């Protein structure tokens, strides 16, 4: 599973990254988490607001910092 956090490095983006890491650990799944900070790459997803959460190429959330529990629900 591939999880991407789209954002330019703002505090909310960092928080979403941390929550995603917590969710993966709690779910006990094998996932690769990467941060996408380049504006051009973010725009390829059609995202105009950050932070955004992408799971296996599908945009799941835009403009929100989801809780670890909410992210974990999306992973299962």
- The set of catalytic residues is 10, 13
What's the DSSP call for residue 14? H
Q: What's the chain's Rg over C-alpha atoms?
A: 11
Cα–Cα dist 41/21, whole Å: 21
Q: Do the Cβ atoms of 49 and 7 come closer than 8 Å? A: no
């Amino acid at each position: 599973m591939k999880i991407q956090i789209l954002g330019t490095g703002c505090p909310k983006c960092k928080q979403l990254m941390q929550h995603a890491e917590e969710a993966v650990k709690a779910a006990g799944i094998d996932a690769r988490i990467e941060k996408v900070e380049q504006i051009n790459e973010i725009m390829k997803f059609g995202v105009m607001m950050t932070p955004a959460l992408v799971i296996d190429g599908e945009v799941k959330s835009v403009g929100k910092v989801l809780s670890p529990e909410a992210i974990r629900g999306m992973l299962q």
